[in-house]
Chains A and B, each alone.
Chain A
């Protein structure tokens, strides 16, 4: 039985408190009887009611989820491959290609992607947004996967290959389970980045394409009403529920296979 120092517990709990106090305000204020997100006035369910009748907001939320799931899925696959390549083959070009989208200011990326899509005559819409999101999410996944691989013992993989395993099987049964926590961490970051992105989405979205951040940011100059708090609360709960269901259906999803190795 490991005795973890009380200092660690307090610091960690402090960290959770730091994360959750603003979130509690977000949730509590979704019941605030005031258009503004600034001071508590009174309790009401009105905003949830408004939300369920607000076609625009609901469609926007749906689009955000759709793009988020797609973009993070593709980015996770490509990012894992990139992380693997960066670690194993010290790929310099890839390292730069992967890091630069994270460094480049979003507004530059947004404008240049728009110009690029227009040059290619690509119809702007949900797909153009998803393509853009994947580009900047790959880096996050790649960096985490690479750091997870750092110091990893390649002898296991080599042994498997010498025993006749195909490269794919060696990856699937040896490497992947070992890097799974890194892959999951990367996927979570990619999803988070995608559903909250505004600048790049603004420039690459087509006429009539609305995601949740686009809808919300357009309210910034008038009032970001508690409807936004409501939709955020529901979105969080929905995504949490989705993940819990997914992990129950497929236990290996969250790296629960560790014990087997």
Chain B
């Protein structure tokens, strides 16, 4: 017994053996194609060590507490804002990124990172409506408006068969858009209106869910969701693979929606910033960038990638929206501490049934 314990202790200590050059990528799961990783490993003669998070906030909390060891991160824009404000990022040496010219100029030089000092766009998704086409057609419900999520006259028909995201930011953004305001509106009176709207619709919703709603949609237990475009795209692929008698389609609300742009950034304490820059440049190449879009149906800011993307994905208006829709998409801005507190109180009251 004692020997066993000594052996275990030795194993634990010996394990963190650094072999060849290691590049630590901290990313969402399934947010890069395995082939892409392999190709990068061949080109840089290094080993890519991937760790995952499933929520921007997890990343932020971990970094705020002082975690180190990661080279490249892939946060969404509002998280990039928070990271810049918190001095967590290393500025990018753009001379090392010849492929940066491939990016659509509209997607560069954003308000949260002027001049792209710290970040480079990676992939995009929108928060929209996903639905079971057979059931929704049967019930005669619209799919191009947030009303189907908030208006009791439509909700009656899908009571208990609709879920919304368990995220105060996302749900309030949708409510604000439906009420005609900007998704980034921070007027407390407008927030109260949004909260009232949500409370009225809540009795019809099956759940606030950000984790297991997609599979329920795919098997037909849930008929309509407020969810992420990538997930809904994937759900349709799964539904087809399982030969279900319906399709899962994406609905872009005419009032507008939240656009999430995920960016590549380098952590201030990155052990290998050189490899991080190599990886960035690699991913800015059209072919590599397109692999992700073809895999999960994510939006793509890379103009050079267009020729590598599957035509059916290019034609999908929810993934590659036209100019009129694009005008109504908004990226979420990070809130101040006081605003976050207010939002949390409203959110908790909604959840507590007050």
Most buried by A among B12, B70, B231, B296: B12
Which residues of B308-339 are within 8 A (CB) of A?
Answer: none
Interface assignment of A23: CB less than 8 Å from any CB of chain B: no
The answer to whether A207 touches B70 (Cβ under 8 A) is: yes
**Which of B52-60, B96-104, B252-260 is the contact stretch?**
B52-60
Chain B 49-89 per-residue mask, 1 if CB under 8 angstroms from chain A, else 0: 11111100010011001111110000000000000000000
Range of interface residues on B (Cβ < 8 Å):
35 or more
A118 located at the interface, meaning its Cβ lies under 8 Å from any Cβ of chain B in the complex: yes
In this assembly, does A127 line the interface, its C-beta being within 8 Å of a C-beta of chain B? yes
Interface-located stretch among B3-11, B107-115, B178-186, B299-307: B3-11
Specify the main secondary structure of chain B where it touches its partner: mixed
Asked if B11 and A66 make an inter-chain contact with CB atoms under 8 angstroms apart, the answer reads yes
How far apart are B15's CB and chain A's nearest CB, in angstroms?
Answer: 6
For residue A118, which residue of chain B has the nearest CB? B66
Known contacts A35-B241, A114-B66, A126-B16; A70/B8 CB under 8 A: yes
Query: How far, in angstroms, from A223 to B13 measured CA to CA in the complex?
Result: 33
Please provide the chain A residues from 220 to 244 with a CB less than 8 Å away from any CB of chain B in the complex: 220-223
Does A56 make an interface contact (CB < 8 A)? yes
Q: Does A41 contact B (CB under 8 A)?
A: yes
**B8, B214, B238: the one within 8 Å of A73 (CB):** B8
Q: How far is the CB of B23 from chain A (nearest CB, A)?
A: 10
Q: Quick check: B242 and A124 within 8 Å, CB to CB?
A: no
Nearest CB in chain B to that of A253: its residue: B1
Chain B residues near A124 (CB-CB < 8 A): 67-69
Sample (18) of A-B pairs whose CB atoms are under 8 Å apart: A35-B241, A36-B218, A36-B219, A38-B219, A66-B11, A66-B15, A70-B5, A125-B16, A127-B12, A202-B58, A208-B22, A214-B51, A215-B52, A218-B29, A219-B54, A220-B212, A221-B54, A222-B234
Besides A130-B12, A208-B51, 10 new A-B residue pairs in contact (Cβ under 8 A), listed by A number = A38-B221, A39-B219, A39-B242, A41-B243, A125-B15, A126-B15, A126-B16, A208-B22, A209-B51, A219-B54
Task: Name B's A-contacting residues (CB within 8 A).
Answer: 1, 5, 8-9, 11-13, 15-16, 22, 24, 26, 28-30, 49-54, 58, 61-62, 65-70, 210-212, 214-216, 218-219, 221, 231, 234, 238, 241-243, 296
User: 4 closest pairs, A vs B, by CB?
Assistant: A207-B69, A218-B52, A118-B66, A218-B29
